Amino acid sequence: MTQATGQIDASQARPGSLRFVAADVGGTHARLAIVTARRGEANSVRVEQFRKYVCADYPSLTAILRDFLAAAGGAVEEGAVACAGYAVAGRVINTNLPWPVSIDEVRDTLGLRRLALVNDFEAVAHGVPCIDPAGTTLLSGPAESAASGPVLVVGPGTGLGAAARIPAGRGTVVLATEAGQTSFAPGTDLEIEILRWLRRGATHVPVEQLLSGPGLVNLYAAVCALRGGAPVLRAPAAISDAAMRGQDALAHEALEVFCGLMGGVVGDLVMLYRAQAGVFLAGGILPQIQSFLLHSSFKARFLDKGPMRPVLERVPVRLIEHGQIGVIGAASWYLGGAGENAGAAERAGGH
């Protein structure tokens, strides 16, 4: 099943431009676009066609790409795929995806000349210059940062993604991370109890086990167990909806823990990467709980870093709608030269 979003324009590439496919693949949704741009100019990306797919409705990423390319029309010989997880020799390591991904197999099966792979939040970070602040929600700090330095992109979805965009000479370097796999560090007495509860069957509790869609379900189950209640909600959307409607006190408490912990983790990442130029929060969950997030302990926990509070008070934290930013970022990364080198390496490594 596909969900068409935005304007669908079946026009062909402009004369002298490059036409290729860009994909943003997460654990729940895959967003695909046909883009045109001037080769080597990352800021010239134009989305010609765009569709959003439910990953679980398809047996593989290859099937999704085949469906999209068949509907798109026109010859496409290359592309870039932004995918959640960690890439090793063209294969993606990610337990949140519904199927395994080998970029070499996808490329060869579809008969593409080049298909390059990039981390999904690395792609979002490449798309940051395309974000219009007027279309975002300011959660903390001034409207504009007075400091230069790295920009942080963080987002909970099926997992927790993060990347840093770092100034380097006249350009920038984007550092992809696996921040979601770092150990959960509790910041309140309740979070300490939740960690104890989660550690019953595991020695390692990654932060994305709490800060993600499945993580919200884990938090709700933990709060229910600690409060002596029975969990009656099973899906992240059901928990957040019940919390925001005031229909379930335990769901409300779980969502409050989620928001507070999100603030604490984002503050930690700002300190780690000295991301004084700003933070963009993306992902599929936060826009859905925006009204709750604004009145939660998110900001208080974000600022609660002892003597570093004055530094964090100067960092703009903005909430963005994910939309097309992932595919635009993947295309920008590809056009910046990384795609050609990555694609050539993958092709050599796949045979």
Please list the pLDDT of the chain residue by residue as tens digits (351 residues): 444 333 323 334 444 579 999 999 988 899 999 999 887 777 788 999 999 999 999 999 999 999 999 998 868 999 999 998 777 887 888 777 889 999 999 999 999 999 999 988 999 999 988 888 888 999 999 999 888 899 999 999 989 999 999 999 888 999 989 899 999 999 999 999 999 999 998 889 999 999 999 999 999 999 999 999 999 999 999 999 999 999 999 999 999 999 999 999 999 999 999 999 999 999 889 999 999 999 999 999 999 999 999 999 999 999 998 788 999 999 999 998 655 544 433 443 332
The domains of the chain, with CATH numbers, are 2-126+324-349 (3.30.420.40), 132-319 (3.40.367.20)
Write out the two tokens for 125.
Answer: 């970070």
Q: What is the pLDDT of residue 343?
A: 42
Cα separation, 264 vs 190, whole angstroms: 14
- At position 38, the amino acid (one-letter code) is R
Q: What is the pLDDT of residue 338?
A: 58
Dihedral angle, C-alpha 145, 129, 160, 148, nearest 10 °: -30
Predicted TM-score of the model (pTM): 0.86
* CB of 33 closer than 8 Å to CB of 65: no
What's the chain look like in SS3? Answer: CEEECCCCCCCCCCCCCEEEEEEEECCCEEEEEEEEECCCCHHHCEEEEEEEEEHHHCCCHHHHHHHHHHHHCCCCCEEEEEECCEEECCEEECCCCCCCCEHHHHHHHHCCCEEEEEEHHHHHHHCHHHCCHHHCEEEECCCCCCCCCCEEEEEECCCEEEEEEEEECCEEEEEECCHHHCECCCCCHHHHHHHHHHCCCCCCCEHHHCCCHHHHHHHHHHHHHHHCCCCCCCCHHHHHHHHHCCCCHHHHHHHHHHHHHHHHHHHHHHHHHCCCCEEEECCCCHHHHHHHHHCCCHHHHHHCCHHHHHHHCCCCEEECCCCCHHHHHHHHHHHCCHHHHHHHHHHHHCC
Taking every pair of Cα atoms in the chain, the longest distance, rounded to a whole number of angstroms, is 66
